[in-house]
Each structure stands twice: as structure tokens, then as C-alpha cells.
Amino acid sequence: MKKAIPLLTAITLLSGCASIFHGTSQQVAIRSNQPDVDLYVNEDFIGRGNSITTFKKKREYVVTARKEGCIPVSIPASKSFDATTLLGMFIDLGIISILVVDGAGTGAWRKFDQTSFVIDPQCDKTPAASKPLQQLLRKKNLKDKIKEKIYR
């Protein structure tokens, strides 16, 4: 019995309700409609086309999609308050479980609003945008030569 009381006290003080019920991380699926898009989280490559990763609730994340010849697109992962944090009021009036454990220690007092992202880079759909710069310059020079011959 003497060992059970300190053990129970330690468990109570070292865990908050949000971290007990929902954990300190969330699994997130990230995909693109194009299979050859490189996916990044906080500038770290996580996969091509589709990927599943884990976000820790304490950190901030930015999801980015990149593809050669396209403008990269980034989306910040937003968070909101996790109401299960308030259950800590019943344990210790929230002093340790909410403020210290769920708040400062684990970040479990917030949850990610999205657990699935669909992100695509901005690609210009015109045929001219997909051609290399040299081909475009040759085409422009050819048009200039044709105009010169017509207007002579």
C-alpha cells in the first residue's frame, strides 16, 4: 500500500487528460493529385505523391508540394483547443495536469484541425510554360524573322 500511493500520485502528476486520451502526436496523411510531386514537411522530404507521417502536437508544421517547373505551394497545419484537456480539472484542479503536462510539457492541449492534406503545386497549363527557355527564345526569334520578311 505504501508503494501504491506514491505510484498513483506520480502517474496522476505526470499525465494530463488530453495526453492520456488523444496522445501527444497525430498521424497525418498527405497526398497530391499528381504522382510526381515531391512532398515536404518543414522542408524535410517525406515522399513523392502520397505519404503518411506523424505530427507531434507540441511543434508547428508547414506542408509543401514541389514539382520541377511549377510554383511550390505551402499549407500551415492549423491547431485548435482539445476539450479533453479540461478533464484535468477533476484530477488536480488543472494546476499540474493542464498547465504543466498538457500545456508546457507535451502540447497535447491542442489538436490538429486536419489529419489529411491534398496539396498540389501551381503549374501553368499552357504548352509554352512547359517548354524550356531556349525553345521559347528560338520561337520568338523565328516570329521576328517572319515579321521582317512580311513587312519588307
Query: Mean pLDDT of residues grouped by 10 in the chain (152 residues)?
Result: 63 53 80 93 94 89 94 91 66 60 63 89 66 56 63 63
Q: Hey, how many other C-beta atoms are within 10 angstroms of the C-beta on 119?
A: 17
Q: Does residue 143 share a domain with residue 76?
A: no
Domain that includes residue 66, residue range: 4-121
Q: Does residue 80 share a domain with residue 23?
A: yes
Q: Does residue 130 share a domain with residue 113?
A: no
Q: Does residue 110 share a domain with residue 146?
A: no
CATH code of the domain covering residue 109: 2.60.40
Q: Count structural domains, the chain.
A: 2
Q: Does residue 97 share a domain with residue 27?
A: yes
| Contacts of 143 by beta carbon, 8 Å cutoff, 6+ apart | none
Q: How far apart are CA 96 and CA 106, in angstroms?
A: 12
pLDDT of residue 129: 46
Q: What are phi and psi of 110, to 5 degrees?
A: -120, 155
Which residue type is seen at 73? V
Q: Does residue 63 share a domain with residue 25?
A: yes
pTM above 0.95, yes or no: no
Helix (H) or strand (E) holding 95: none
Contact (Cβ atoms closer than 8 angstroms) between residue 17 and residue 89: no
Contact (Cβ atoms closer than 8 angstroms) between residue 58 and residue 106: yes
Please give the C-alpha separations between residue 85 and each of 28, 31, 70, 98, 106, in angstroms, as whole numbers: 21, 31, 42, 6, 12
Please give the C-alpha separations between residue 76 and each of 1, 64, 114, in angstroms, as whole numbers: 50, 9, 10
